[in-house]
Amino acid sequence: MATTNTTPDLSSHPGAQTERDAGLLVSLPSLPPDSLQATLAHLTEAFPGRPLLVTTPDGAQTLPSGSSLRVVPYTPVNASASPWVLAAADFVNAYELAQKNQAQSVLLLGGETQSLSVDALRSLAMSVEAKTDLTVACYDLGPREGLVNSAILYPVTRALYGVRPRFPLAVDLGLSLRMAEKLATVAGRYTAGNQPDALLWPVAEAALAGFSIQEVEAGARVLPPPAGLDLNGLLGMIAGSLFADVDAKAAFWQRARNLQPRLVQMQTIPPNDAPADVKPMLDTFRLAYTNLHELWSLVLPPASLLGLKRLSQAPPNAFRMPDALWARIVYDFILAYRLRTLNRGHLLGALTPLYLAWVASHLQLVDTGVAPEKHIETLATAFEADKPYLVSRWRWPDRFNP
């Protein structure tokens, strides 16, 4: 696959090609020198002979021999301190660069870019050039990776906005110019408020604007590891951002209904034999059940509390959190976040043990041979089925509910 043969189709129409090439801009994050070199090599391989615009904040680069890339170094105006995920500053930078270079579309790549395969680069570019407004990468992950995404981000985004991308927070995105402008506008509000690290939800923004969204297979990829914070802090940050976004887009998602078909199937990298050690997670959950019960009871309705009680008494090997229960828990936390039932920091902290319980349940289920992706899809269906609950409570936030 990885040979550098030039596609005759591309080289035979140089005119059309340059016109197109002026359109696409690849925006790279700050990378260590060797990763950057590897990435440039990949890009050269993916787009042989095309004078592609590549922007990097890392200064002037020597290109691999025979490369036709045009590397444009720049100094970012806003720098994000969280290189593991695309943040507001990245979108602002990307749009500025696209404008400056008169690009028609942007390929916004996240950290550890060198691990992105040549095929993935090509298919991302192809989708972007097919006038898709937002192209989202779909990665192949192991069954024990990307769990927050599987547990919360994906089902919630899918159920609320009716859009299917499996990774709402994918680090590799293709943006049309108008999508980039829209995201930059939204991001501008954060960067102006000196929050260059704020998360954006491109998928939700695109759905809100009625833009086309496409998902492309990106294969396996090393996802940049989150920096610094512990699980609790990260979950609080990401879920908090998602919940706030849900709050801000209420008028839209309460009317979004039709689900877009999913074209890409996520491939799960088969797990290794050793069953997951879920005991610590269960311990956390049990401990939290005895200690955080009164906080939860401010947030969750009695039926969910009963479900948790049963869970807390379940033997470890029969520990299964029903999908419907998890969906309802997440929805009730979104509602509590909106209503400020309790301090938002505390609220998200109280979600962590529940999330761990879900993870434990999910891993145990996977260990019995259920395909993880299948369970996630079922889970997403459960979220969809329970969406009316969220909408009705959102509209009528009565405490007297099931």
Partner 1 sequence: MGPTGGIGSSLAFSFRRRHFLYGNPHSAASLPLQIRILRRGDQRVNVKKTGSATDPLWYKDAIIYELHVRAFADSNGDGIGDFGGLMSRLDYLQDLGVTCIWLLPFFPSPLRDDGYDIANYVDVNPSYGTLDDFRKFLDAAHLRGMQVMIELVINHTSDQHPWFKAARLAPPGSPEREMYVWSDTDKLYDGVRIIFTDTEKSNWTWDDQAKAFYWHRFFSHQPDLNFDNPRVMQEVLTAMRFWLDMGVDALRLDAIPYLIERDGTNCENVPETHVKIKEIRAVIDGEYGNRTILAEANMWPADVRPYFGDGDECHMAFHFPLMPRIYMALRQEDRLPITDIMAQTPEIPANCQWGLFLRNHDELTLEMVTDDERDYMYLAYSADPRMRINVGIRRRLAPLVDNNRRRIELLNSLLLSFPGTPIMYYGDEIGMGDNIYLGDRNGVRTPMQWNSDRNAGFSRCDPARLYFPVVMDPIYGYQVVNVEAQLSDQSSLLHWTRNMIALRKLFQVFGRGTLTFLNPDNRKILAYLRKLEREDGSNEIVLCVANLSRFAQPCSLDLKEYEGMAPVEMLGYVPFPKIEAAPYAVTLSPYSFLWLELQAAPTVDASLELSPEAAVLATVDAAAHAEATPLLDLATTIWATLLTGATLASIETALPAYLLRQRWFGAKSRVVQTIRILDWAELPGAGTPPAALFYLSISYTDGETHTYQLPLALSTGPDADAIQAAAPNSILLKLPTAEGPALLYDAVNRKDLRESLLSLIEAESSLPMRDPVTVATEAAAPASLSAQPGEAVPPAAAEKLEPKPAGTISGRKSSAFAGVRGTGALVSRTGSAEQSNTSILYGGKLIMKLFRRLQPGENPDTEIGRFLTDVAHYPHIAPFLGELDMIGPDGQPTTIAMLQGLVANEGDGWAWFLEQLAQFYTSVASVAGPSDTGCAPSFLNDASIPSDATAYAAASIEAAALLGRRTGEMHLALATETTDPAFAAEHFSGDDLDIDARRIDVQITSTLEALKRGLAQLKDLTADAAALLLSRRIELYARAHAITGTASGAAESGMRTRIHGDYHLGQVLRTPDQDYVILDFEGEPARTLEERRRKQSPLKDVAGMLRSFSYAAYSGLDAFAKTRPAESRSLEPWAKLWQNTVSTAFLRAWSETVSAKRGLIPSAPRAQALLNAYLLEKALYELLYELNNRPDWVRIPLAGILALEK
Partner 2 sequence: MWHSMNHLMTALQVDSTGQPVQYSNYGQPVVVDQSWWQQITSALTQSTQRVLENLAHFLPGVVALIIALALFTGIGALAAFILRKVLTAIKFDDRVGNGKSSSVIPNLQDWAPSHSPTALVARTAFWGFVLLGCVIGISAFDSAYTGSSQVALFLLPYLTHSVGALLLFFAGNLIARFLARSVLIGAVNAQLQYARFLSLGVKWLVLVLTAAMVLDHLQIGGLVVELAFGILFGGIVLTLSLAVGLGSREIVSRSLERNVERAPEAVAPTPAAEAGESLRHF
Q: Which does 61 bind (CB under 5 to 8 A by kind): partner 1, partner 2, none?
A: none
* The pair of three-digit structure tokens given for residue 303, joined into one six-digit string: 């039926």
Task: Quote the Cα angle for 221-226-227, to 5°.
Answer: 135
Stretch that binds partner 1, among 7-15, 19-27, 232-240, 311-319 (CB under 8 A): 311-319
- Give the residue with the Cβ less far from partner 2, 52 or 295: 295
Nearest CA to 57 out of 129, 133, 118, 111 is that of: 111
Q: Is the CB of 47 or the CB of 201 nearer to partner 1?
A: 201
Q: Which stretch binds partner 2 (CB under 8 A): 118-126, 176-184, 302-310, 350-358?
A: 350-358
Token pair for 230: 């512990």
Residue 75 interacts with partner 2 (CB under 8 A): yes or no? no
Query: Looking at 9, 62, 225, 399, which residue binds partner 1 (CB under 8 A)?
Result: 399
Q: Does 398 bind partner 1 (CB under 8 A)?
A: yes
Task: Determine how many CB atoms are found less than 10 A away from the CB of residue 388.
Answer: 9
The kind and range of the H/E element at 139 are strand 134-140
DSSP of 60-82: --PPPTT---EEEE---SS--S-
Nearer to partner 1, 20 or 375 (CB): 375
User: Would you count residue 210 as binding partner 1 (CB under 8 A)?
Assistant: yes
Is there a contact between 360 and 328 (Cβ–Cβ < 8 Å)? Answer: no
Q: Does 244 bind partner 1 (CB under 8 A)?
A: yes
Closest CB to partner 1 among residues 83, 196: 196
Strands (DSSP E) along 150-284, which ranges? 173-176, 213-220
Q: Give 229 or 371: the residue with its C-beta nearer to partner 1.
A: 371
- H helices within 210-249, ranges in order? 231-248
Per-residue binder mask for partner 1 (CB under 8 A), 318-337, x = binder: x----xx-------------
> CA angle at residue 389 from 383 to 391, to 5 degrees?
100
**Which residue reads 């401010």 in tokens?**
298
> Is 377 an interacting residue with respect to partner 1 (CB under 8 A)?
yes
235 touches, from partner 1, partner 2, none (C-beta below 5 to 8 Å by class): partner 2
Instruction: Tell whether the torsion through CA atoms of 277, 283, 289 and 292 is positive or negative.
Output: negative
Chain contacts with partner 1 (rule: CB under 8 A): 181-182, 185-186, 189, 193, 208, 210, 244, 247-252, 254-255, 257-259, 261, 294, 298, 315, 317-318, 323-324, 338-343, 365, 368, 370, 374-375, 377-378, 381-382, 385, 388, 391-392, 395-400
